[in-house]
Every structure is written in structure tokens, then in C-alpha cells.
Amino acid sequence: MILDASDLNALFITFKLAFITTTILLVLGTPLAWWLSRTSCRYKFLIEAVVALPLVLPPTVIGFYLLIALGEGGVIGSLSQFLGLGSLAFTFTGLVIGSVFYSLPFVVQPLQSAFVFIDQKILDAASTLRASKYDQFLTIIFPLAKPGFLTAAILGFAHTLGEFGVVLMIGGNIAGETQVASVAIYEHVESLQYAQAHTLSLILLLFSFVTLALIYAFNRRFMVGKI
Amino acid sequence: MSICIKLALSKKSLNLDVDIDIKDSLVSAILGESGSGKTTLLRVVAGIERVDDATLYVDAQCWQDDKTFLAPHRRPVGYVFQDSMLFEHLSVGQNIEYALKRVGTAKRYIDIDEMLQILKIDHLLQRRPHTLSGGEKQRVAIARALATNPQILLLDEPLSALNVELKDQTLNYLSYICNTFGIQMLYVTHSFREAAAIAEQVLYLQNGRVNLAKDLNALSIDLSKVKAQEHFSIIPTKLKSELREHGLCELEFDGGIFTVDNHLAHNRVNLLIRAEDVSISLEHPLHTSVLNIFKVVVIKIESNGSRALIQLQINKTILLSSITTLSLQRLSLREDMEVFIEIKALSIST
């Protein structure tokens, strides 16, 4: 195994990015997914399409638009300038914003499908048992949708780990700041350092396989337990 | 305790225009065909359905009007749903605890252990809801609703998933509980039989309007015309005396006294008398085992094929008798005739 300091750093940044992104997505994605699962708004399909866009768009397209948005004069860029944060392009914060868009469907969709299966009458019952909306979320919705939350968290995390195109477009490749593992692998291959590329690739491969295996094992156990 | 409901609602297939004041009654049944809006009425009381044009006062306390809307979790009601709606991720005990721990100790007046015993579910606390039978599920749902120590218990067709035997049993539990704990109930049902068995007063929902059926006897005769498969008359009675040595009791009604099985010995009982159990003779029967014999007047005869349905009046009470058209001819029954009816004590129930 050959892992030098910059490889370790890239791995660390990758996991940090995935962790922060997943946390933000769970916080923002839960109300969005809940709204999508309950609303009878006729424009719901538009929001659903926007959420699903990252599934089909080339990451470079997302990256390109985000780069423009983050830059000076862009929507996010103007805001960050106004707040005195400077430009967010080629920073870790910029990476987080990009990842949140990029992994959005992987968190929102499992949550939405889990929420759809929660009968409104169960929540009605809870409210007649003196549970407020917030109480209902903690004691009914969350436990019943737990497999959905787990799937959402793991998919969001794993998908962010595998990010490449978006990161390259908006994060550049600044070692120790915005260089993530997938980009580091690309660099190693470009400079014919196959051994280092192997090590990093294997780590990502094993991690992704183990997490996916865990989801399926958990969901199976949950289904069996329910019957 | 009084509940005052005013609401106007028009949805696709439902028009409701309700203005009722329910008071002086422990158990009130809301009776109506399916789709008549009775469930909506109950959901509005619980606050889980919001109808804009509604006013709701309970004991002079405003739960809803133009300006106020008390959130459902702040209303002191218990709600029993048609299909139990137990939380599958919790055990039976945890389901009941869910309700109990959200109610302040000062507001608790129901002895939970006693209630669990009355409902015969104290041995099920460790079980998961999906392992219970239909009757058990519904009893747990009742217990969970009661664990909120409600001022009003709302029941939405709570027995519709149960077979006849379990229905009677659960009705008995409910009657016993509301008497033991003095709890007011609003009982929604499409079955007049259930309504009469449990309720002191019946609110009849028809064409979007509610009428308070003051006279259950008259309502039972009216409904008998509509529904052909089963004919019975309901007779409200009061307890006169118990004949313990015989296991019987005497119940007084407008027209006389019924002698019936002692398990019916409650202060106020609505007796259900099936038309098939009432036989007619022209003279006072002699040497008979039948305990309940009354002199009545034939007021109406309707024959249909081999059977005839006869309305008989004693004072203001009307009873139904179903006999064959052959007997009708043999006795030459006509309207305004005076006859005697016999009803076996053991055939009378609630």
C-alpha cells in the first residue's frame, strides 16, 4: 500500500465533503420530500423533475452552471460577495454547494418513497393522542421511515464520494483544499502512478460495496421483521 | 357536558348543514347511511378535518369559530378509528403508553389497570399489533383512546370489522366503561341496532341534516319500513325491580312491564324485540310459559308474499310482529282489532 500525505488528505477531504453534504441534505431534503409526498399542488411534477435532474445531466453541465452561479456576478456569487465571503468558486464551501445539488435526488427520492407509505390516518391518530406535529415527526414518521432515512443517508454519502465532474469544474484540483479522492485517482493515472491509483480506487470500491451491502441487508431484515 | 356543533359544508358528493346541541346524555349515537357525512362530523369535532364554516363549543369552551381553531392535539378527545390505526412500530403496551404519557397526571381520572382488565387486554401488552385478532386490535384502540383520559370519546364505526359475537361483547365493554368512568361518547354507526344498544339518544343524519330522534321506538318503526331484511322494534325502558331469585328483572315501558333476563338490569335499557319473536293470539293465552303478554291494537298490516308485518300499539309504544299470511287469514286480523301478543323473556335483548 502506498498512500502519501496528499492521498490521505484527499481521502479526508472526500469523507468530510460527503459527511457535510449528507447532513445538509438530510436537513433540507426531509421537508422537501415530505412536501412532495403530501402535496396536491398541480406543479409538483416540476419540482420533482428539478430534483431528478442530476440523475440524467452530465456532471460537467451542473458544474458549469454552478461555476457561473458561484462566480462574481452569479446568483450565489453576488450573495457571498455581499456577505463578505468572497467568491466561493474553487473553495471547499463551493464544493459543498455543488455536492448538495449533485446528490439531491439520492436523498430526496428514498425519503419521498418512504413518506408516501405513511398513512395520513396514522398521523391523525397520533394527533388525537395529543402529539403535536413535531412530536409526530419524532415518534411516528421517523421510526416508520427509518429504512428510508438510512437509504437516503448512505446513498447521499456514497454518491458524494464518487463525485468527479462537478468537483473538477467548480473545485479545481487544489491539493489539501479541494482535491478529492476521485480527482486524485485521475491525476495519478495521468502521471502513470498506477500503484497509488490502485490503492485509492480499491479503498473507494470496498467502501462503496460495503455500504451498499449494508443497506440491502438492513432493508431485507426490516422487511422480514415486518411480516 | 354539552357539545354544540354548527357546520356547513359542501363538497363534491357531500352537503352538510348541521346545527346540533348534544347534552344530558352519556352516549349519543350518530346514525346515518354511508356517505352521509357522519365521519366528517366526528373528524371536525376532533379537529383532524378542518371545515372553514364551522363553530364548535364544548362545555361553553370554544374549540372552533371564525377566529379560533384549537389544534387537534390540544382537544381533550379520544378517537377510535374504524380500522384501529395502532402504531405498528410499537407494542400494545407502548401504544397505550404513547397516549398516557402525553397527558398530565392532574388530568388523569381513569384507572388504566382497571380499564385494561375490563377490556381484557392486560395480557397482551407485550404483543405487537400485527399479531392481534380484529377484536383485540379494536379493544386496544379503545384502551389507547381512553388512556388520553378524554372528556369525550369519539367512536367511528368501531365495531364494523368485527363479527356479531365480538360486536355484542365489545358493545358491552363500551357501555360498562362509559358507566364506570362516566365518560361521554359520540358513537358513529350506520347500524340502528348498534345505536340503540348503546345510546341514550340517537342523532339521525339524513340528506345532510341531523335530527335528534327523541323517540327511538318511532324511529325503529320508521326504519323497519326502509330496510326489509330485518324487522325489530326498539323499546326504551327503565328498571323497575330485579327478581334475583329467578335471575330475571322487570323493566317498565310506556304500556307495561317486561320481564327479561337479569343481565339486562340497567337503569335505562333500550330493548330490541325482533318481529319474529312476537306471536299473536285473539284471546288471552292460558297455561303458557311465556312471561310477557300484552293486550294491543292492530294499527297496520303489510303483507309481502308468505309473510305479513303487523304494527301493534300499546299506549304510545309500537311493536312489530312478523307472522305468516296463513296465520293472518286464519285469525282474520284487521286494523283496529284488539289482540294479545306473547314475547318470550329469553328472546329479548338489547
- Written in H, E and C, the secondary structure of A141-195 is HHHHCHHHHHHHHHHHHHHHHCCCHHHHHHHCCCCCCCCCHHHHHHHHHHCCCHH
Give the tens place of pLDDT for each residue, A89-124.
888 988 999 999 999 999 999 999 999 999 999 999
Q: Establish if A139 belongs to a structural domain.
A: no
Nearest residue in chain B measured CA to CA from A225: B89
- Across B120-157, b (16+ Cβ under 10 Å) vs e yields ebbebbeebbeebeebbbbbbbbbbbbbbbbbbbbbbb
User: How many domains are contained in chain A?
Assistant: 1
* A204 Cα to chain B: minimum distance (Å): 35
* B131 Cα to chain A: minimum distance (Å): 10
Percent of chain A surpassing pLDDT 70: 96
B69 in reach of chain A (CB within 8 A): no
Give the tens place of pLDDT for each residue, A7-57.
899 999 999 999 999 999 999 999 999 999 999 889 999 999 999 999 999
Q: Establish if A217 belongs to a structural domain.
A: yes
pLDDT of A202 reads: 93
**A84 vs B72: CA distance, rounded Å:** 46
Instruction: Strands of chain B (E only): list them.
Output: 2-10, 15-23, 27-32, 54-58, 61-64, 77-80, 152-156, 184-189, 201-206, 209-213, 232-243, 248-253, 256-261, 268-274, 278-281, 292-304, 307-314, 317-324, 338-343
Unique residue bearing C-alpha cell 463551493: A94
B78 in reach of chain A (CB within 8 A): yes
- Mean pLDDT over residues B237-254, rounded? 90
A147 in reach of chain B (CB within 8 A): no
Q: What is the CATH number of the domain that holds A93?
A: 1.10.3720.10
Cell numbers that stand for B168 in this block = 355484542
Interface test with B, best of A117, A127, A129, A133 (most B CBs within 10 A): A129
Give the tens place of pLDDT for each residue, B147-165.
999 989 999 999 887 777 7
Cβ contacts of A226 on chain B, cutoff 8 Å:
88, 130
A127 in reach of chain B (CB within 8 A): yes
Torsion, CA A166, CA A168, CA A205, CA A188, rounded to 10: 170
**Which domains are seen in chain B, by residue range?**
2-214 (3.40.50.300), 232-347 (2.40.50.100)
Angle between helices A5-38 and A181-190 (to 10 degrees): 130
Q: Establish if A82 belongs to a structural domain.
A: yes
Angle between helices A92-116 and A59-70 (to 10 degrees): 120
Angle between helices A92-116 and A5-38 (to 10 degrees): 40
In terms of residue numbers, what domain contains A177? 5-117+147-226
Nearest residue in chain A measured CA to CA from B46: A128
Q: Establish if A105 belongs to a structural domain.
A: yes
Q: Establish if A81 belongs to a structural domain.
A: yes
Contact pairs from chain A to chain B, CB under 8 Å: 62
Q: Contact B87/A140, CB-based, under 8 Å? A: yes
* A161 Cα to chain B: minimum distance (Å): 33
